[in-house]
Structure 1
Amino acid sequence: MMKKKMSDVVKKEDKSGAVSVRVEDDLRQLKPSLEKVIVSEGRTTLNIQALNIRKHAEDCLKTVNKQQLILPPIGDLQQKTLSKWTPCLEKISDVKKQRENLPGAPAGEQDKLALNMCLPNKRSIRHQKSGKSLTDTHRKRANEAKGDRIISGSVVNLQAAESKGHHILVVPKEDFGTDLKSRCHEQPVRKTKAESTYLRADRDCTPTETPAFTTTSKSMVPRSPQSLPVDIPRYLFTIRSGQVDPMAADFCHFKQCFVLCWSSVVDVLEALQKLLREFAVPLAKVSGERLVELSHVWDSGWSKAPSAMPVLSVLENWEEVSELISHPGQRYKGEGGIEAAAIHIQSSWRRYLARTAYLCHCRRKWAAGTIAISWLMHAQLCRVRKALQARRFSQLENSRSRAQHLAANWKRIQSFKRTIIHIPSLGYSQRKRLNLRGFDILQNTQMSRLCDIRDENVEVIYICPQHLGNDILDYYTSLLKCDGATDGADTTTARASSSVRRYIILTPEAVDYFPTHNMCLSTLLKYSPQTLKHIRNLIQGKQAYIVGGVAHMDDLAVADELGLPILGPEPAIAQHYSTKSGGRRLFVGAEIDVPPGQGDIYSLNQLHETLAELMTQNIDVQRWLFKIDSEDGGRGTAYCDTCHLSCYKWALQEYHRYGPELWNPKCIQETVLLRYLDEIPEWLTHYAQPAKTSCYPNWACFLKTFLRQGGVVEAYPPSNSVTCLTVDLLLEPGGEVTMLSCGDQLHGGCKLEAIGSIVPQSSVHPETLNSICTRVGRACLQRCIVGYVSVDLVTFLDHNTMEKKVWAVDLDITYSNQLAMTQMLLMMTGGTLNCCTGCLEAPIPIREKCYEHQIVPKAPVENLCAVIGNHLFHSDLSMLYNKVFLMMCNAHGIRFNKKTKQGTVFAFFDSSERSSIGMITVSEDLQRALATFARHLSVIHQEISVPKSQGETNFMEVIKEIEDILQMTAQNKLQGEAKPAS
């Protein structure tokens, strides 16, 4: 009878479980559709939790749980299985110790074995040992479980699958032996009130949540050695080609054991099968325990399907499957592979198109922004350029108007008191200015312009490019008091005091703002409003004009600010004719002899062809010069000697074979010309060299600048005795040409750079020189060139005709250093330089007293000679202050005698470096002046130099040049004396 009732209960329980499973399946299918339902009134998504579906499910489970679970007959254990919930391991205090004492099982399996052995019919075991009620214990543990559901009953085995603290209790079909039968009660056990409390489901749990189960004490674990070994069940089944065989025994066994949570398991299983089909996995071995664990995790917290790695973790051969899935292109071999490949290709192509379009858009946007900014900058630049052009055009028109007024009133201005504003500016190009060392000192080498005050009607405002020390200011103050006057002491003192009052030195304030920019002095003055205001106050109500240096556009701006005319040409005209090619064109226009050559050369082929033609026509020329247009002096000059040309001897033989009369036809010169064209490139590469290697170290550097800026090829005079001289002209606005200075050049180490001169010149006959200068001056006036002009000439003896020739080689439209030093010479001697006669005349002071009724006799005049060094350099000069240097020179007798108007006087240019000076030596004849100049340089060099460290200087080169001149002069004197005797 008892067996029958127990079997009925079991059957009824199975039927209820099936109903519960169907309900859960229906709910699971209903859930996706309900998520999309929108409540029309509130316009909000319907909340599934708010429905009573959970309540209905709980009521169903409560009905099932209220039934008393009676152990079935032992014979039916092989046919029926029940699912039970496993306890929460975190709340079982003795589980670890129980696992440690389990015999015959490895460490990894002891957890499952301990739980299987400690939970068979917990209530019956406790009743057998103690007979005490479990009500208090159950109540206490129910509080600890915090609402987890407990199902008690006949439990044979336990399989734990931990997932968020939930455990599943499973009863397999196997019979556990007689030992387990002896511990189980066949009679039904009445449940107490406390136990019924444990059987209630928590209303806060969802239908898929697993209730926790209470644990037993350590004493309840069977330890009898006669106990049968417990097998740990493993729920493994196989998935082939992404499909589970529903009729397979292992799968059916797994499904039957986990029937109560199958709704959650089936979702994960479907996701796993789908993943395996998509990647064409042939074989996968699934661990049922891991699958159940994953299903609880998925159902508890995941609203979407998990990623591939968590799903693959339920496989026993997950490493093989993962390796297969990670293989490139495996996805396209499985289910929907063609569609996935097409989708991937399309998405990649669309992504590429979108990315390309986006990048194109970005480039266009950037280009549009750049174009817009460039256009705005271009428009702004055009506006500024137009404004500058308009302003400069206005300045040029005003300058022309004032120049016309100056030309019309020049005679009157020269006859009355006037103010001359000297601006010794070097308006070179920016490239050239930045390459010049000590540019401010170079602009101040014409400080001797202050000596213009020797004319009583002249006041000088000198613009200095640097701040001068008190030592230099005191020196020029004392120097300008000695104006060479021969009057009485009172008159001399009065004139000296008036001379000091008639000059002023100003330094623009912009010098402090642009110390390293190498700006020309006109630009610095342009950006110095205080200095301009001071000058305007000084010249207010006076006749004044500006004397500049190398012309620059800012000269017009300064003149426009001051409202004064400039004694000089327009900057564009000056820059055009100041080049080597421009000067050559002007000389040709003035019908002056020039060296054989060609200007305006800008290409290498033009250079080779021009040079070959010139060498063929002038086969007696031994050296050819190459001059850069924008350079001055020896800086931009290179040379090459024809003696290094391999075919030169053959060319000379051809020339002498035909003779000078038959050599001019082109047909005769053609063979030599072609031979020259073949050899000139290599000849220049190996033998051409710059005159000053400090500026251009080799021919390659020189040639690069030569072709970029243009240049001239000229012949060096074919003579061993060549003299160079410089003539300074004043082209008056009224149209007259006046020679202000003339002197033979004095060279240093570079034979093509003048660092001084001998005044007056003695190389060219004064009438010939006057004729040449007059023609050059008239040609300049025809080209609107007025002001100060410097002309360089060379003279030599032509061995073919035995006549002296004069060539014009260079034209500088500026106030020269020689003219500035000549002004100091005339200031110190009180004399005049008569270029027409070639004499430097200085009055001899009268020592006899003259009474009032006596007629003052005309002061006698003596001829003097002077040697001028306008750019003497010695690096050791910086070790001495200017006052100490003058004391040293005075101790060695290097001084100027104001009474005899002879001696040596110095010009200082700066107070900081003090390495450059000017020096003038005056004597009664040329030989004595040269010897005195050389001796003084030697004394200074010995005093300031150490024998082991000579320093950088050009003193010794000048001394050697002077010695050569003295030797040549002595030879000419002996030859002159020998001719009359013969």
Structure 2
Amino acid sequence: MSDLLKNEEIVQDDLRQLRCSLQKITVGGGGRTLDIQALDNAIRKTESSIRKRAEDYLETVNKQLLVLPSIEELNKKTVKIPKWKPALESIPDVHQQREGLAGPLLGEKHKSAVAMHLLCNPAHPNNRAIMHTKCGLSLPDVHKRSTNAVSNMMMNLRLPVTLGLIGSRSSRVKQLRWKTKPESTCSKDRECTPLWVTKTPPPSTTSKSVDHGSMNKGNNGLILKSPQVPVNISKFPFTIINGRINPMAVDFCHFKQSFSLCWSSVVYALEALEKLLREFGVPLAKVSGERLVEFCHGWDNGWNKSPPVISLLSVLENWEEVFNLVLRPGQRYKGEGGIEAAAIHIQSCWRRYVARTAYLRYCRRKWAAGTIAISWLMHAQMRRVRKALQVRRFRQLENYRSRAQHLAANWKHIQSSKRTIIHIPSLGYSQNQRLNLKGFDILQNIQISRLCDVRDENVEVIYICPRHLGEDILHYYTSLLKCDGATDGFDTRTTESSSSIRRFIILTPEAVDYFPTHSMCLSTLLKYSPRTLKRIRNLIQGKQAYIVGGVAHVDDLAVADELGLPILGPEPAIAQLYSTKSGGRRIFTGAEVEVPPGQGDIYSLNQLHETLAELMTQNTDVQRWLFKMDSEHGGRGIAYCDVCHLSCYNWALQECHRYGPELWNTKWIQESVLLRYLDEIPEWLARNARPTKTSCYPNWACFLKTFLRQGGVVEAYPPSDSITCLTVDLLLEPGGEVTMLSCGDQLHSSCHLEALGSTVPQTSVHPETLQSIYMRVGQACRQRLIVGYVSLDLATFLNRNTMEQKVWAIDLDLTYSDQLAMTQMLLMMTGGTLNCRTGCLEVPVPIREKYCEHQIVAKVPFYIFIGSHLFHSNLSMLYHYVFFKMCKAHGIGFNIKVKQGTVFALYDSSERCSIGMMQSRVYFQEKNIQCTFRFVSLFK
């Protein structure tokens, strides 16, 4: 060990002397020094590299296993390595060769390469020739043994770098160990190379690519890929049989002796390779010694981890056979420890399955617990919100009731004094109905004629409009409400403004712009419009005011509570209960008013069939039966079916005539007919029932589905060819009085179930009979806490048997009707009064006598046609001013002097498809009505 350290110091001293001697070389006689700084830098780099690698090698040797020399080597004396000291004075003058030094020769890379060749093996003839020809330097000859010793020292100093080992300079003195053998043990073909100079090729890029390349999936969970093995001839092959190495084999001993210095690294690789071959039951494996050592050099991560399988297989010469054998499914379990490996694999798979199952169960339970927790939090939050809403709505209901009591107590005073009426024509239908109604905002604006309440000088009107009106419509109603002006379209002939135009204002909630497609009712839009509510509060401050709504909705209470005003109308819950078809029948029954044969509150198909069979058995003279939905309106939810299509109907009539009217009412006589009806009614309805509005319900199946979900009524159609329907509008005053505000005969279309308009006043029923009916209905409504505006529909016809007039109550609406809104317009334009006791509309008309200078005013009975739902698609092609010019060209207008003519109600400025119309004549003649309809038909 001490000799080795001395040799290292001798080499370093010689390098320093060589550097100092080269600096003193002069060229020629000029005394100039040759600039060979590049060679000096190369010498310095070589010296530092030798020092560092020696330190690394010393540290690495501490971790290597020591191999004791053989017994015959103990008697051999160690050979002393002589000091190599070149004779610098023998170096000739290189002035003559200065011109031969080319530019590339003085480059740093070329000089470094020359220095490395020189220092690694200066005794080699090739290196001596290079120094002589390239640099012009002649190295002296030294003892061959000394040259070999220096060369061997240089090779040994490079050896640790080749093996990739690391060491520490601080421990090189104590822990340096050399594994050498005397030259006598070497074979003759290796006399020039001692055993401790190993022939180990440097790690190639092939081994590194094999170690870190991608691999295929093996049967034992290993990822394998066919190794890229270079084709070469191995000098140190040996075999492994059944995963065992024969240590006495000649080829193995030869390999072991050749690579004894790095044997500690090879041992780990051999053990790993043997283990791999035993585990996979490989019978024969041929190992290439050079590849194995190359693999050991390339594996630079230590032996704490097992080497990669693909790299181990690459050191075999028959790697293809071994590789295919290793990839064979189940091969791992045929080798050493295969049964234990299979058991471990099965147990690991089972434990993995159990753990995975438990984990998934835990995840599901955790998710379920989270879902339950979130659901509970949401439920608790919803319950708190619901409870808060219930408390708020209950408070609003209590405030509504207290204000209603105050309104009832002061109603007469309010009616006789100045007051402000806030009209909110809201249609508080269900959400499904609102979404299915086309042009819902226009439908809510049909009652814009409520503005005509300003005909009373004590009334101011605040009209809440569901959409923005254009300047043309605003100007039109401003001209219309001038009591002393004529309105031929937009033509105004007044000289001074009337006071009526200063007593109304039209407001549009700002929420209309925020919810354009949600089909909200007007009360809801006003509820979410704080600026409009604030303006209304400013307008009614210090005044007596109340609200007149439309179809009742819960948001009506919220708006009334926000404004602090009473509502002239029933509670929303009461309105929803009695505004249905079944609820109307209950009120009519309580008022002891005659109603058509029928039954309400039908919610199942069996109930429908049984009720219809029973009604048809008891009323054999009825030719048509009607089916009305509870929550529909305007003729939308009505279907009909004629009994003439029933095959057993004639037989039932014969049975009825055979027993006579008195015996026919007996149940046991009707039983046979009832059973026959029950058998045929389902098929009869499926084939012959027809909805009146096919645009809403295209067939009976769709109608029946909605009918059973909402509930409905089965009623008899009046058994007569001449039927008249009339509508009576009532005001159930908070003080308890019942007042009729309007009455008119309905004008029907071809199906006789849809009203197009009405004629005011009605002439179908005697006024006293009509008064008796509406008074009883009004009192029945008062008993059920219904106040405000009520619309009553009646049907009258002649009984064929007795030829007496019969009046049936068929419908009840707890809302402000369209007919009443148009009646307000006709009373405004004509200045007349509707006498309900006599059933006449009296209008003061001036009569000019030929020879009299004074004008005489007489009250003449008028008959007026009103229609609020006139629709034509071609109307949208005309602007309103063009439409009125066309009316004027056809002689259609209203003469304010004689109180006759036609007045239109405009609803919107954008679509312009729907209008309302009022036509007044002194004597009701059919040709006048036909003239108006003929004008509308011009746009077809």
In the alignment, what sits opposite 2:934? 938
- Secondary structure at the counterpart of residue 156 of structure 2: coil
d(CA) in 2 for partners of 1:753, 1:172: 130
Q: Shift of residue 687 of structure 1?
A: 2.4
Q: Shift of residue 242 of structure 1?
A: 2.2
Q: Can you list the C-alpha shifts for 1:349-368, whole angstroms capped at 9, x where unaligned?
A: 33333333333333333333
Mean CA deviation greater in 657-666 or 546-555: 657-666
Q: Shift of residue 632 of structure 1?
A: 0.4
Question: Could you tell me whether the CA contact under 8 Å between 1:58 and 1:201 is conserved in 2?
Answer: no
**Letter aligned with residue 588 of structure 1:** T
Residues 151/552 of structure 1: CA separation in 2 closer, same or farther (3 Å cut): closer
Match of 1:886 among 875, 884, 887: 884
Q: Shift of residue 699 of structure 1?
A: 2.1
**Letter aligned with residue 935 of structure 1:** C
User: Counterparts in 2 of 1:485-496, with a 5 A limit?
Assistant: none
Q: Can you list the C-alpha shifts for 1:169-225, whole angstroms capped at 9, x where unaligned?
A: xx999999xxx9xxx9xxx99xxxxxxxx98989xxxxx995989xxxxxxxxxxxx
User: Counterparts in 2 of 1:915-934, with a 5 A limit?
Assistant: 915-927=913-925, 930-934=926-930
Question: Could you tell me whether the CA contact under 8 Å between 2:427 and 2:552 is conserved in 1?
Answer: yes
Residues 411/163 of structure 1: CA separation in 2 closer, same or farther (3 Å cut): same
In the alignment, what sits opposite 1:611? 612
**Letter aligned with residue 611 of structure 1:** L
In the alignment, what sits opposite 1:875? 873
Q: Can you list the C-alpha shifts for 1:424-445, whole angstroms capped at 9, x where unaligned?
A: 1111112211221211111111
Q: Can you list the C-alpha shifts for 1:631-661, whole angstroms capped at 9, x where unaligned?
A: 1021111222222333333333333333333
Q: Can you list the C-alpha shifts for 1:468-504, whole angstroms capped at 9, x where unaligned?
A: 122112211221123699xxxxxx9899622222222
**Letter aligned with residue 927 of structure 2:** A
Q: Shift of residue 732 of structure 1?
A: 1.1
User: Counterparts in 2 of 1:394-793, with a 5 A limit?
Assistant: 394-482=395-483, 497-748=498-749, 750-793=751-794
Q: Can you list the C-alpha shifts for 1:845-865, whole angstroms capped at 9, x where unaligned?
A: 2558999xx9x9994211111
In the alignment, what sits opposite 1:308? 309
d(CA) in 2 for partners of 1:675, 1:493: 73
Q: Shift of residue 710 of structure 1?
A: 1.4
Question: Could you tell me whether the CA contact under 8 Å between 2:195 and 2:258 is conserved in 1?
Answer: no
Question: Could you tell me whether the CA contact under 8 Å between 2:202 and 2:297 is conserved in 1?
Answer: no
d(CA) in 2 for partners of 1:821, 1:349: 85
Residues 260/792 of structure 1: CA separation in 2 closer, same or farther (3 Å cut): same
Question: Could you tell me whether the CA contact under 8 Å between 1:280 and 1:330 is conserved in 2?
Answer: yes
**Letter aligned with residue 861 of structure 2:** N
Mean CA deviation greater in 896-905 or 643-652: 643-652
**Letter aligned with residue 667 of structure 1:** W
Question: Could you tell me whether the CA contact under 8 Å between 1:480 and 1:496 is conserved in 2?
Answer: no
**Letter aligned with residue 926 of structure 1:** F
- Secondary structure at the counterpart of residue 306 of structure 1: coil
User: Counterparts in 2 of 1:842-857, with a 5 A limit?
Assistant: 842-845=843-846, 847=848
In the alignment, what sits opposite 2:155? 148
Question: Could you tell me whether the CA contact under 8 Å between 2:279 and 2:337 is conserved in 1?
Answer: yes
Q: Can you list the C-alpha shifts for 1:375-394, whole angstroms capped at 9, x where unaligned?
A: 33322222222222112111
Q: Can you list the C-alpha shifts for 1:491-531, whole angstroms capped at 9, x where unaligned?
A: x9899622222222222222222222222111222222222
Q: Can you list the C-alpha shifts for 1:34-59, whole angstroms capped at 9, x where unaligned?
A: xxxxxxxxxxxxx9975984799799
d(CA) in 2 for partners of 1:522, 1:597: 35
d(CA) in 1 for partners of 2:910, 2:285: 95
Question: Could you tell me whether the CA contact under 8 Å between 2:523 and 2:559 is conserved in 1?
Answer: yes
Question: Could you tell me whether the CA contact under 8 Å between 2:420 and 2:544 is conserved in 1?
Answer: yes
Mean CA deviation greater in 301-310 or 414-423: 301-310
Question: Could you tell me whether the CA contact under 8 Å between 2:237 and 2:251 is conserved in 1?
Answer: yes
In the alignment, what sits opposite 2:95? none
User: Counterparts in 2 of 1:18-417, with a 5 A limit?
Assistant: 53=62, 66=79, 147-149=154-156, 210=200, 235-248=236-249, 250-251=251-252, 254-255=255-256, 258=259, 261-298=262-299, 302-417=303-418
In the alignment, what sits opposite 2:42? none
d(CA) in 2 for partners of 1:440, 1:755: 20
Question: Could you tell me whether the CA contact under 8 Å between 1:151 and 1:199 is conserved in 2?
Answer: no
Residues 53/405 of structure 1: CA separation in 2 closer, same or farther (3 Å cut): closer
**Letter aligned with residue 909 of structure 1:** Y
Question: Could you tell me whether the CA contact under 8 Å between 2:846 and 2:855 is conserved in 1?
Answer: no
Question: TM-score scaled to structure 2, two decimals?
Answer: 0.75
Question: TM-score scaled to structure 1, two decimals?
Answer: 0.72
d(CA) in 1 for partners of 2:836, 2:744: 10
Question: Could you tell me whether the CA contact under 8 Å between 2:164 and 2:300 is conserved in 1?
Answer: no
- Secondary structure at the counterpart of residue 907 of structure 1: strand
Question: Could you tell me whether the CA contact under 8 Å between 1:634 and 1:750 is conserved in 2?
Answer: no
**Letter aligned with residue 155 of structure 2:** D
Identity rate, percent: 70
d(CA) in 2 for partners of 1:422, 1:704: 36
Residues 53/761 of structure 1: CA separation in 2 closer, same or farther (3 Å cut): closer
d(CA) in 1 for partners of 2:148, 2:451: 118
**Letter aligned with residue 831 of structure 1:** G
Question: Could you tell me whether the CA contact under 8 Å between 1:150 and 1:199 is conserved in 2?
Answer: no
CA RMSD of aligned residues (A): 4.3
Question: Could you tell me whether the CA contact under 8 Å between 1:608 and 1:677 is conserved in 2?
Answer: yes
Match of 1:860 among 858, 861, 865: 858
Q: Shift of residue 261 of structure 1?
A: 4.6
Question: 5+ unaligned residues in a row in structure 1: which ranges?
Answer: 1-46, 70-92, 94-118, 153-161, 166-170, 190-197, 203-207, 214-230, 486-491, 951-982
Q: Can you list the C-alpha shifts for 1:749-793, whole angstroms capped at 9, x where unaligned?
A: 553222210111122222221111111111001101111100111
Aligned length: 785
Question: Could you tell me whether the CA contact under 8 Å between 2:163 and 2:262 is conserved in 1?
Answer: no
Question: Could you tell me whether the CA contact under 8 Å between 1:484 and 1:829 is conserved in 2?
Answer: no
d(CA) in 1 for partners of 2:672, 2:878: 63
**Letter aligned with residue 524 of structure 2:** T
- Secondary structure at the counterpart of residue 149 of structure 1: helix
Mean CA deviation greater in 785-794 or 605-614: 605-614
Q: Can you list the C-alpha shifts for 1:147-180, whole angstroms capped at 9, x where unaligned?
A: 433999xxxxxxxxx9889xxxxx999999xxx9
Question: Could you tell me whether the CA contact under 8 Å between 2:397 and 2:557 is conserved in 1?
Answer: yes
Q: Shift of residue 726 of structure 1?
A: 0.7
In the alignment, what sits opposite 1:955? none
d(CA) in 1 for partners of 2:143, 2:739: 138
In the alignment, what sits opposite 1:979? none
Residues 49/859 of structure 1: CA separation in 2 closer, same or farther (3 Å cut): farther
Question: Could you tell me whether the CA contact under 8 Å between 1:434 and 1:518 is conserved in 2?
Answer: yes
**Letter aligned with residue 547 of structure 2:** I
Question: 5+ unaligned residues in a row in structure 2: which ranges?
Answer: 1-55, 83-109, 111-120, 133-137, 166-182, 204-231, 487-492
Residues 254/607 of structure 1: CA separation in 2 closer, same or farther (3 Å cut): same
d(CA) in 1 for partners of 2:910, 2:445: 13
d(CA) in 2 for partners of 1:924, 1:633: 30
Residues 602/172 of structure 1: CA separation in 2 closer, same or farther (3 Å cut): farther
In the alignment, what sits opposite 1:103? none
Residues 743/150 of structure 1: CA separation in 2 closer, same or farther (3 Å cut): closer
d(CA) in 2 for partners of 1:524, 1:124: 105
Q: Can you list the C-alpha shifts for 1:225-247, whole angstroms capped at 9, x where unaligned?
A: xxxxxx96655444333223445
Question: Could you tell me whether the CA contact under 8 Å between 1:842 and 1:862 is conserved in 2?
Answer: yes
Q: Shift of residue 304 of structure 1?
A: 2.6
In the alignment, what sits opposite 1:33? none
Q: Shift of residue 299 of structure 1?
A: 7.2
Question: Could you tell me whether the CA contact under 8 Å between 2:234 and 2:289 is conserved in 1?
Answer: no
Question: Could you tell me whether the CA contact under 8 Å between 2:656 and 2:664 is conserved in 1?
Answer: yes
Question: Could you tell me whether the CA contact under 8 Å between 1:596 and 1:614 is conserved in 2?
Answer: yes
**Letter aligned with residue 931 of structure 1:** K
In the alignment, what sits opposite 1:964? none
